[in-house]
Each structure stands twice: as structure tokens, then as C-alpha cells.
Amino acid sequence: MAESFSVDVVAADRRVWQGRATQVVATTVTGEIGILAHHIPLIAALAPGRAEITVEDGRRMAVAVAGGFLSVSEGGETTIISPYAQLADEISLAQAERDLRQVQKAREDGDLSLETERRYHRALAQVRAAARKV
């Protein structure tokens, strides 16, 4: 069995998940990264999308993240910090797709406000996570 390490997923308004995992895979702004026990310390900027956590019993969980950071400490503890994060199992793919279409139309119509960009990244993350629930 693979060695486990502590993982914490934190959104701006709540702790989304905390536990032990054997692997974390996330998409950074420069590409996909995989974290295993004893990974070197790092901080990476996350792209809006999906992170996948393999828990100790082998189950995999998908998490929608709207950007943010992934941090691995000297001891291997891994933290995902995002303005928005949600477990994929809590997301309705149909609703997320509707939200994404709505915000894309607003952007096409010239609404480039910070609120619209925030809604866009959240909807994009939800669709990417919910479309590939594990």
C-alpha cells in the first residue's frame, strides 16, 4: 500500500475536505502535477479546473478549484487553497454547464468585470470537475 500524507482543501469561505491521501493530482498554470508522500516542498499556482485526491482506501475524489495555490510543506503536508472549491459529487453538471454558458455570453457581450471573471472561473472549474467525476 502506498504511503499516505495529510491533505487539506480550503476555500475562501470554508474547509472543503481534510484527510489522508496517497496521491494528489492538480492542474497548475504550467501543467499537471502529481504529489506523492515525501514530495519536495513547493508552492504552485493552480489553474481553474479539477484536482483529484486518492484517499487511503483507494477511492478517488474530484474537487473543483477556481485557481489558487497548492502548497507542499517540508513534512509533505499538502494544502490546496482556492477562492472557490467544491467536491465534484456536490456539483450538478447540468447546472454548471448552464452557468458557464450564461457567463460566457456575458463576456462575449463585453462584461469583463471582476465579478464576471470570478463567476467564469467558478463555472469552468465546476464543469471540469463534474464532467469527470471519479
Mean pLDDT of 122-127: 91
Q: Where does residue 67 fall: left (phi above 0), alpha (psi -120 to 50 degrees), or beta otherwise?
A: left
Q: Does domain 5-88 have CATH number 2.60.40.10?
A: no
> Residue 35 contacts by C-beta under 8 Å, 6 or more apart in sequence?
5, 23, 24, 25, 26, 70, 72, 78
Nearest one of 74, 57, 65 to 23, comparing CA atoms: 57
pLDDT in tens, 34-63: 999 999 999 999 999 899 999 999 999 999
Q: Is pTM beyond 0.75 here?
A: yes
Q: Which three cell numbers stand for residue 13?
A: 469561505
Q: State the Cα–Cα distance between residues 17 and 117, nearest whole angstrom.
A: 25
Task: Evaluate if residue 133 carries a pLDDT over 70.
Answer: no
Break the chain into its structural domains and give their ranges.
5-88, 91-131
Give CA–CA dist 76/87, Å, rounded.
Answer: 22
The per-residue pLDDT for range 64-84, each reduced to its tens digit, is 999 999 999 988 899 999 999
